[in-house]
Amino acid sequence: MAEGKANLREIFDDISLSVIKYLENHTGVTSVQFRDRQPASKRDIITWETANHPYRLPEDYKAFVLISDGLQLEWNVQYQEEALPIGRMQLNPLQAVKQATVDDCDMLVDSAGSTSPANRDGHTVAFSLDDTDGHVVLFYRSVDTPPQVWFQDLSCTWHFIANTFTDYFRLMVTHLGLPRWPYVFTATGLDPAAKQWFRFLAPERLATDLNSARRRRSEGSMEAKQAVPTVGSKLNWSQIERTSSRTSKGRRKREDSSPAARGAATGARPSTATRPGSASRARPSSAPTQANASRPMR
């Protein structure tokens, strides 16, 4: 049994760009805990699809649950004598992948920033993959089309994340399960506390996300921009980023072997991506405490 658990961890580390080893070797990261889950069976998949007929699970998601029925990877950051629970990668076990509510009044915001009613024709169905910070779901626009992965924020607005489960899994890994990472795909963006943790642990990923957001804004039409409803805070995250991303002369060069660097959408490392010092230095002023580190922010 112990050998099987070790093999499961090795399989996960292999398909996740060695994210466990990367976290364990990162300065300041401690208590990396990978919760072993037994694989689902083909009978479990048939049972799910029978109960949720006519909707079928995508093939890449089936392949994943046949390796591990769900996922839970957590890790802390050591600050002096305190271990802060920061990172969490979560996927519900198959029996917990249940239908999520899609109201007629909910709005969809696609990758181009265009909006539309979430359930215009009454055929939209979503099944929950993760409920940590909002809802990450398999989103079925119709019975005949493959599901995409969408994220519902705390304002109940739905945001496109990925075309396939495989693409979503890669995004989750390259974002290291950092607090509220799906919010990089929303109009609100990351809150300041989450952004500081990104600068410390995944600066390349943060720079890529910010550049992608700027590109989406510049490519979007004025009509599409005016159609996007105001969601969440009105803080100017771009201004915050320009103000707080000044590099120091003694910046250390980050290793190119990180999962965030390998999973970045562009090959070149952005010159504005900075990395603060080790966890033994000053704690981010807006960092969450141990009691509320994983609490979602509106």
Distance from C-alpha of 296 to C-alpha of 298, rounded to nearest angstrom: 7
Give the model confidence (pLDDT) of 8-41 as tens digits.
677 777 777 788 888 888 888 999 999 878 899 9
Q: Please answer whether residues 222 and 268 qualify as being in contact, where contact means their C-beta atoms are separated by less than 8 angstroms.
A: no
Q: In what order do the strands lie in the sheet with 135-140?
A: 99-100, 125-130, 135-140, 148-152, 158-162, 107-109, 115-117
Question: Inter-axis angle of helices 237-244 and 203-219, to 10 degrees?
Answer: 140
Q: What proportion of the chain, given as a percentage, has pLDDT over 90?
A: 34
133 pLDDT higher than 50: yes
- Select the highest-mean-pLDDT range: 76-80, 182-186, 248-252: 182-186
Mean pLDDT, the chain, rounded, equals 75
Using pLDDT thresholds of 50, 70 and 90, give the confidence band for residue 259. Answer: low
CATH number of 2-262: 3.40.1580.10
Q: Answer whether the bond into residue 54 is a cis peptide, omega within 30°.
A: yes
For residue 219, the model assigns a pLDDT of: 61
Better pLDDT: 286 or 84 = 84
Q: Mean of the pLDDT values across residues 75-92?
A: 89
296 pLDDT higher than 50: no
For residue 258, the model assigns a pLDDT of: 53
Using pLDDT thresholds of 50, 70 and 90, give the confidence band for residue 51. Answer: very high
State the amino acid at position 262 in one-letter form: R
Min mean pLDDT across 15-29, 155-169, 170-184, 279-293 is at: 279-293
The model's pTM is 0.69
Q: Tell which residue, 180, 199, 205, has the closest CA to residue 190.
A: 180
State the amino acid at position 246 in one-letter form: R
**Tokens 């490392």 belong to which residue?**
269
For residue 66, the model assigns a pLDDT of: 92
Give the model confidence (pLDDT) of 104-113 as tens digits.
888 888 877 7
150 to each of 42, 93, 157, how far by Cα in Å?
A: 26, 18, 10
Question: Which tokens is 10 given?
Answer: 């090795």
Query: Could you report how far apart the first and last alpha carbons of the chain are, in Å?
Result: 43
Q: Residue 232: which region, alpha, beta or left (left: phi > 0; alpha: psi -120 to 50)? A: left
For residue 263, the model assigns a pLDDT of: 54
139 pLDDT higher than 50: yes
Where are the chain's structural domains? 2-262
| Displacement of CA 50 from its chain's centroid (Å) | 29
5 to each of 20, 69, 159, 266, how far by Cα in Å?
A: 14, 13, 35, 35
Distance from C-alpha of 113 to C-alpha of 29, rounded to nearest angstrom: 36
For residue 50, the model assigns a pLDDT of: 96
Distance from C-alpha of 235 to C-alpha of 257, rounded to nearest angstrom: 34
At residue 162, what are phi and psi to the nearest 5 degrees?
-155, 155
Min mean pLDDT across 105-109, 135-139, 226-230 is at: 226-230
For residue 211, the model assigns a pLDDT of: 83
For residue 160, the model assigns a pLDDT of: 94
Using pLDDT thresholds of 50, 70 and 90, give the confidence band for residue 55. Answer: very high
For residue 224, the model assigns a pLDDT of: 41
Buried/exposed code over 261-282 (b: 16+ C-beta within 10 A; e: otherwise): bebbeeeebbeebbbbeebeee
For residue 168, the model assigns a pLDDT of: 95
For 284, residues 6+ apart whose C-beta sits below 8 A from its C-beta are 193, 196, 197, 200
For residue 112, the model assigns a pLDDT of: 73
Using pLDDT thresholds of 50, 70 and 90, give the confidence band for residue 103. Answer: confident
